[in-house]
Amino acid sequence: MVLHDQRFLKLVALGFIGALLLPSVRAQENYPNRPIRLILDFPVGGPSDVLGRVIGQKLTEALGQQVVCDNRPGANGAVAYGVAAKAAPDGYTLVWLSTPFPLNAALRTNLPYDSFRDLRPIAQVANYENVLFISTQLPAQTVSEFITYAKSRNGAMPYASSGSGSVQHLAMEQFRQLAGFQAVHIPFAGSAPALLDLVAGRVDSSITLPPAAMPHVKAGRLRALAIASDRRLPALPDVPTLTEIGYPVLALGWGGVGAPHGIPQPIVQRLTREVERALAMTDVRERIESFGGSIRYRTPDDFARFIRGEFDRWGPVIKQAGVKLGD
């Protein structure tokens, strides 16, 4: 009789657990049944915004629900990452993870989230090169002449970046240390506003992405001096890399999709599959290449390992330069 009662209680318990899990299972099977929010970590016009909206549109078409892009710039992307980390892990909040994501973990300890615990990488989308641009108001025509000019300013030369601790900021810090000149860092909330001040001549130089700068190069308002990479760009075939000139600065940008930790694995698999399909489309590839990027797909586990590697690579540079968020 006791054994029978124990079996009965076990069946009741299993039925109760099943009743609790059933709504979650059904929700995953019906995913998505309402709009999805994609939080973007930088302002309109920058790489996160452009690439995030390209992928968001393709997810909208594939999933049959609107993916609404929500720009939350600030604190080198930390504002967006913090908002996403606090969201429900149900697949209805996604976040664009880009180059600053692992850097922030090395830049300060008071982040409103844990970089390696609170957010789950879903799929990397692209890589893109950064370029050293200068105002044409400067007399320099080459990197050597630019270094001479910078030294002549005795530490007063202003340069722009997309934010303190951004890869563009770190790249310029690494470059100026290798070249032996001082400069004044002017941080902006994204590459787009930084470029506006460079074009206007309010700052002298910036390491940033080429697409938005190229019209100004063609119009004679900006000059491309070097690629912060180990390969030349097809769009700028005559512009050398900093590595070629003797300054091995590798400032690769990248971006991809993430989500709050705890997102169900079936939803992760669905999103990963749809992102991979999107990257096989000609129009997506052309849009990414028009932004100076190249498709670089990584699965969730590979993407997570890559992010950890970026933290390990840039951590010593950040420490040596003494860079902190808010500089």
Per DSSP (E only), the strands in the chain are 36-40, 67-71, 93-98, 119-128, 131-135, 158-161, 184-187, 205-208, 222-227, 253-260, 293-298
Contact 207, 227 (CB under 8 A): no
CATH code of 266's domain: 3.40.190.150
Residues 234 and 280 in one domain: no
Residues 149 and 222 reside in one and the same domain: yes
**Alpha carbons within 13 A on the beta-carbon side of 268:** 19
Residue 26 lies in a domain: no
Whether residues 299 and 220 fall in one domain? no
Residue 21 is assigned to a structural domain of this protein: no
Q: Same domain for 75 and 39?
A: yes
Q: 150 with 217, same domain?
A: yes
Q: Smallest Cα–Cα separation from 69: which of 20, 35, 34, 24? A: 35
Domain coverage including residue 168: 131-245
Residues 237 and 140 in one domain: yes
Residue 209 sits in the same domain as residue 265? no
What CATH code is carried by the domain that includes residue 181? 3.40.190.10
Q: Residue 86: inside a domain, yes or no? A: yes
Task: Report the alpha-carbon distance of residue 195 to residue 205 in Å, rounded.
Answer: 9
Structure token digits, residue 125: 């989308």
Q: In this structure, are residues 261 and 118 in contact, taking their beta carbons and an 8 Å threshold?
A: yes
Chain-centre distance of CA 300, in angstroms?
Answer: 16
Domain stop point among 224, 245, 266: 245
Cα 229 to Cα 119, 127, 131: the distances in Å are: 29, 12, 8
Whether residue 144 is found in the same domain as residue 239: yes
Residue 258 and residue 117 share a domain: yes
Residue (of 76, 90, 86, 73) closest to 112 by Cα position: 86
Residue that terminates a domain, selected from 245, 266, 282:
245
> Does 261 reside within a domain?
yes
Together in a domain, 202 and 294 = no
Burial zone of 286 (CB within 10 Å; 0-12 exposed, 13-18 middle, 19+ buried): exposed
User: Which amino acid, 64?
Assistant: G
- Please check whether residue 186 is in contact with residue 158, taking contact to mean a CB–CB distance below 8 angstroms: yes
Phi then psi dihedrals of residue 62, to 5 deg: -80, -35
pLDDT tens digits, one per residue of 129-184: 899 999 999 999 999 999 999 999 999 999 999 888 888 999 999 999 999 999 99
Same domain, 111 and 152: no
Mean pLDDT for back-to-back runs of 10 residues, the chain (327 residues): 54 52 58 98 86 97 98 91 98 96 88 94 94 96 98 96 87 93 91 90 93 88 94 89 94 94 98 98 91 89 96 86 66
pLDDT at residue 21, rounded to an integer = 47
Q: Pinpoint the alpha helices (H) of 64-209.
A: 78-85, 100-107, 143-152, 167-179, 191-200
Answer yes or no: is 117 within a domain.
Answer: yes
Asked whether residue 280 falls in the same domain as residue 189, the answer is no
In a domain, 19, yes or no: no
Q: Is residue 25 part of a domain?
A: no
pLDDT tens digits along 67-101 = 999 999 988 889 999 999 999 999 999 999 999 89
For the chain, the domain total comes to: 2
